[in-house]
Amino acid sequence: MKILVVGGAGYIGSHMLRRLQKTNYKVEVLDNLSTGYEENTLGFQFHKCDLANKDQLNSILQNNYDLVMHFASYINVGESYLYPQKYYENNVNNTMNLLNCMVDQKILNFIFSSSAAVYGDPGPSPISEEENINPVNPYGQTKAMVENILKDYDRAYGLKSTCLRYFNACGAHLDGTIGESHNPETHLIPLVLQAASGRKNSITVFGDDYTTKDGTCIRDYIHVMDLAEAHLLALDSLRSKQISNIYNIGNNIGFSVKEIIEIAEDVTQRKIKINIESRRKGDPAQLVANNKKIKEELNWTAQYSDLKTIISSAWQWEKKLLQSN
């Protein structure tokens, strides 16, 4: 079997490549390096290509792939409010380019990086896949739109897909060689650790007046290596059953922002300065995954998603980044 990993030079895609290296699958990578790093693709055939370039995309997709994993998109929720065009163009139009080339080349298996952002501001957590999707920001809209397009492409062209709705991806590879390096970084754990290492002065907490146990937002944190494992199980299931499906990937446990900071202080043995600001638009109080479906149907269990392992691995990575700066 031959797999094309689109967006494999980025944070989650690079951890996927590491996991795929331990399989017998043939794996190639496509990325435009807009937010990814070429060194993350070492050891794989790498196609530098922008999904907007239909001609180049078409010629790459003639390489007899059986399945495409699609990690490439813009990911910054705040930026998506400011520049929705950028998000709809890359996350929707460019994904359409990819899907259309796949259909032309009869590559009919697709794994899509969706997001908990499709739920918007849902009812009480934990949230199951049955919950209505109702995104509240352009980023979430782009993910919901692709999920809907995939339903139509299955009906019309037989393109079978698995949409994986990630909750908060975090942590770094336990071997310390790859990790999260978004620029600008907007995710809580790397920002907290930058405040611990001294790369930032403090961590800004947006809102401490939510109706949660300590007033700060509650999220579900999932280690990136557990995410990669879920993709592999999804791939096997998709290939054998040929049924399109949607799964949450989360830990079924919520932690507040304050709890994350406390655990980070414990792991790093440093005091972290906190700066409280008002709530951000579109941040629900609580987003926690019901992960029953992926556990029961794909036999997935999280192995690395206890907060100590997540934060220790991310701290090891942060110290490496600090040395290389």
Residue 35 or 194: the one with the smaller Cβ distance to ligand NAD is 35
Characterise 297 by phi-psi region: left (phi > 0), alpha (psi -120 to 50), beta (else): alpha
Cβ atoms within 10 Å of 206's Cβ, excluding its own: 17
> Which of residues 115, 237, 252, 286 is near ligand NAD by CB under 6 A?
115
- Beta carbons of 271 and 195 less than 8 angstroms apart: no
End-to-end Cα distance, the chain: 40
Least Å distance, CB 135 to ligand NAD, is: 12
The one catalytic residue among 65, 74, 139, 221: 139
* Contacts of 109 by beta carbon, 8 Å cutoff, 6+ apart: 66, 67, 68, 159, 160, 161, 238, 239
Place of tokens 């999904």: 51
Is the sign of the CA dihedral 118, 123, 126, 127 positive or negative? negative
Residue 33 or 285: the one with the smaller Cβ distance to ligand NAD is 33
Span interacting with ligand NAD, options 6-14, 238-246, 283-291, 292-300, rule CB under 6 A:
6-14
Least Å distance, CB 288 to ligand NAD, is: 14
Place of tokens 């206890």: 306
> Which of residues 168, 256, 286, 309 is near ligand NAD by CB under 6 A?
168
Least Å distance, CB 48 to ligand NAD, is: 9
> Which of residues 3, 4, 5, 7 is near ligand NAD by CB under 6 A?
7
Characterise 139 by phi-psi region: left (phi > 0), alpha (psi -120 to 50), beta (else): alpha
Characterise 221 by phi-psi region: left (phi > 0), alpha (psi -120 to 50), beta (else): beta
- Is 13 among the residues that bind ligand NAD (CB under 6 A)? yes
What does DSSP assign to residue 42? T
Residue 155 or 321: the one with the smaller Cβ distance to ligand NAD is 321
Least Å distance, CB 219 to ligand NAD, is: 10
In 129-223, alpha helices (H): 138-157, 188-197
> Which of residues 51, 108, 228, 238 is near ligand NAD by CB under 6 A?
51
Least Å distance, CB 168 to ligand NAD, is: 5
- Is 113 among the residues that bind ligand NAD (CB under 6 A)? yes
| 62 to 101: interface string for ligand NAD, x by CB under 6 A | ---------xxx-x--------------x---x-------
Residue 169 or 196: the one with the smaller Cβ distance to ligand NAD is 169
Least Å distance, CB 67 to ligand NAD, is: 17
Does 139 qualify as catalytic in the annotation? yes
User: Would you call 60 helix, strand, or coil by DSSP?
Assistant: helix
Least Å distance, CB 18 to ligand NAD, is: 13
Rounded alpha-carbon distances, angstroms, from residue 324 to 118, 200, 300, 317:
36, 16, 36, 11
Cβ atoms within 10 Å of 152's Cβ, excluding its own: 10
Q: What is the size of the binding site for ligand NAD (CB under 6 A)? A: 27
Residue 45 or 242: the one with the smaller Cβ distance to ligand NAD is 45
> Which of residues 166, 300, 315, 317 is near ligand NAD by CB under 6 A?
166
Rounded alpha-carbon distances, angstroms, from residue 207 to 22, 179, 219:
43, 28, 14
Note the residues at the interface with ligand NAD (CB under 6 A): 7, 9-13, 31-36, 50-52, 71-73, 75, 90, 94, 113, 115, 166, 168-169, 182
Which residues carry out catalysis? 139
